[in-house]
Structures are given as C-alpha cells and as structure tokens.
C-alpha cells in the first residue's frame, strides 16, 4: 500500500524556488510536474529503490511514496537533504537585504541537490563542455541503462558499484559520454572501492580552498565543476 509522509518546513523556505533553483529538477531520476508543482524522485530504500512524489501544502512537505514498506527515517532524511531544509539562510538573507532584497522576500537561496554527493558529482561532470540537451541525454542514459528499477517502473540513479561494473567503451557507446567515459569508469571504481568518499565533503573539516583542491583531483572536475559542487555541499565562499 502507498504511504504518505510529512515534513515541517522552515519559515524562510520556498518549495518552488528551491526545486527550480537550477536545472537539476530536469535530470532523471527527478521529474517535475509543472501543472501541479510536484517533484518526482527515486530513493534508495535499503535493499530496494522506491519512488516518491514531493509537494508542498499548508507549510509542510508532503511525500507520497509508491509503496508502504519503506525505511521511513532514511526517506525523510533524504528529502530533508535534497530540499536543504536544515540550511540556515537567515544570515544570507540579512546580507542580501540591501542590494538584493527580493532574495529574502521570496525565501530564495536553497539549491536542489541529489540524495547523494556521488550523484551530484556525476551529474556535474555531465554539464561540462556541452549543451544542456547532451547533459540530459547522458544522465537519462545512466539512469535507464544502469539504475535499479522500482516496482512502479521508474529507475534510480546508478550507484558507484553499478557504474564500476561497466567499461570505458560502455560509457562511450551506450551513455554517449565522450571524453568523460574514462573519467566515469575510474571515478566509479575509486568510489566503489572506498578510495574516494564524496559523501565526506558534506561534513569535511577542510577549509573551502583545500576542499576545492581535493575535488579537483578527480578527473573531469575543474574550477567550474568544483565551484558548483561546493555550493551543493553547503560551501558558498565563491559567491563572496
């Protein structure tokens, strides 16, 4: 049976502006229903994957799950993560009050992110040196060809282990990743084997400058990609 969960939101939260903060809402497994302002997602549910539809009403986030057997604590944590519900924007809104008052007035400032930093990392590499159409094509291919299916026919973003199982040729021919193909194969292997842990960036004690250097050690991550990733893990120094 389907199940519905709810989350309280901060006073300065704007669901629509968060979902449309950048193009992530157009990249699978995210799907956006603009008529009803609902965001579809797919979450890791321990040993399986489950789809959900996220919307807002009466100051709460409504999460409609496709099935009832879920790891409720993890799903709620993932939704909090993608919508940045724990981000404190009060200081940011105060700093922008003079020149950019509209930011605080519209409760803008949160950037939609994926359930994992690994997914954000792969998607960011998919945005480098190409059109948005190609970015969407690559991410769609990754999800459709490698993602774990849900019971209702959707698919999750592939894990590092799933990606590490494929060759450079697969990424060239099937994903259409071009020069990124060897980067994907190498990165997936290193993350799957524990040599690299992108999730650690969320709570890293490194100064932002050093964390950026660490990110740039990954093939395919230059200044642009690193700056984008820094914002997705809550480091906004580059905006100063």
Please report, for the domain that includes residue 56, its CATH number.
Answer: 3.30.310.20
Same domain, 174 and 72: no
Does residue 239 carry a pLDDT above 80?
Answer: no
Domain termination residue (choose one: 77, 105, 133): 105
Does residue 93 carry a pLDDT above 80?
Answer: no
Task: Label residue 9 by pLDDT band (50, 70, 90).
Answer: very high
pLDDT score at 64:
96
Does residue 108 carry a pLDDT above 90?
Answer: no
Does residue 238 carry a pLDDT above 90?
Answer: no
pTM attached to this predicted model: 0.94
Given the structure tokens 């740039």, which residue do they identify?
A: 216
Same domain, 133 and 72: no
Residue 46 forms part of a structural domain: yes
d(CA 56, CA 44): 22
Same domain, 71 and 149: no
Q: Give me 145's structure tokens.
A: 């060809």
DSSP bridge partners of 68? none
**Contact call for residues 198 and 221 (beta carbons, < 8 A):** no
pLDDT score at 95:
77
Helices in the chain by DSSP H: which ranges? 15-19, 72-83, 90-95, 101-105, 117-125, 132-146, 160-164, 168-173, 181-192, 208-216, 223-232
Q: Give me 158's structure tokens.
A: 């592939």
Tell me the residue range of the domain where 58 lies: 3-105
Domain termination residue (choose one: 52, 75, 105): 105
pLDDT score at 240:
57
Closest CA to 67 of 153, 126, 148, 179: 153
Same domain, 81 and 147: no
Same domain, 123 and 221: yes
Same domain, 142 and 224: yes
Domain termination residue (choose one: 67, 85, 105): 105
Mean pLDDT along residues 130-159: 97
Task: Tell me whether residue 25 is exposed, middle or buried, using C-beta atoms within 10 angstroms of its C-beta: 0 to 12, 13 to 18, 19 or more.
Answer: middle
Mean pLDDT along residues 121-137: 98
**Taking the alpha carbons of 64, 104, 22, 200 in that order, is the dihedral positive or negative?**
negative
Q: To the nearest whole number, what is the mean pLDDT of the chain?
A: 94
pLDDT in tens, 189-229: 999 999 999 999 999 999 999 999 999 999 999 999 999 99
Q: Give me 43's structure tokens.
A: 């979450």
Same domain, 99 and 168: no
Same domain, 70 and 170: no
Residue 57 forms part of a structural domain: yes
**Contact call for residues 232 and 221 (beta carbons, < 8 A):** no
Give the total number of structural domains in the chain: 2
Same domain, 100 and 163: no
Same domain, 77 and 149: no
Task: Label residue 78 by pLDDT band (50, 70, 90).
Answer: very high
């Amino acid at each position: 049976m389907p199940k519905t969960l709810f989350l309280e939101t901060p006073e300065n939260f704007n669901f629509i502006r968060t979902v449309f903060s950048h193009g992530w809402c157009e990249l699978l497994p995210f799907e956006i229903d603009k008529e009803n302002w609902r965001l579809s997602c797919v979450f890791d549910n321990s040993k399986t994957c489950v789809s959900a539809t996220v919307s807002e009403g009466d100051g709460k986030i409504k999460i409609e799950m496709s099935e009832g057997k879920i790891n409720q604590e993890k799903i709620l944590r993932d939704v909090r993560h993608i919508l940045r519900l724990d981000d404190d924007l009060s200081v940011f809104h105060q700093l922008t009050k003079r020149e950019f008052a509209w930011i605080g007035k519209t409760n803008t400032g949160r950037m939609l992110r994926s359930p994992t930093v690994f997914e954000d990392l792969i998607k960011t590499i998919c945005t480098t040196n190409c059109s948005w159409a190609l970015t969407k094509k690559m991410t769609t291919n990754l999800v459709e060809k490698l993602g774990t299916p849900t019971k209702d026919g959707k698919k999750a973003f592939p894990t590092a282990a799933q990606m590490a199982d494929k060759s450079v040729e697969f990424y060239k021919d099937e994903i259409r990743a071009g020069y990124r193909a060897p980067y994907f194969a190498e990165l997936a292997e290193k993350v799957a084997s524990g040599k690299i842990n992108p999730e650690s960036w969320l709570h890293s004690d490194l100064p932002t400058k050093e964390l950026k250097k660490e990110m740039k050690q990954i093939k395919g991550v230059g200044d642009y990609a690193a700056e984008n990733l820094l914002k997705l893990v809550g480091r906004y120094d580059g905006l100063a």
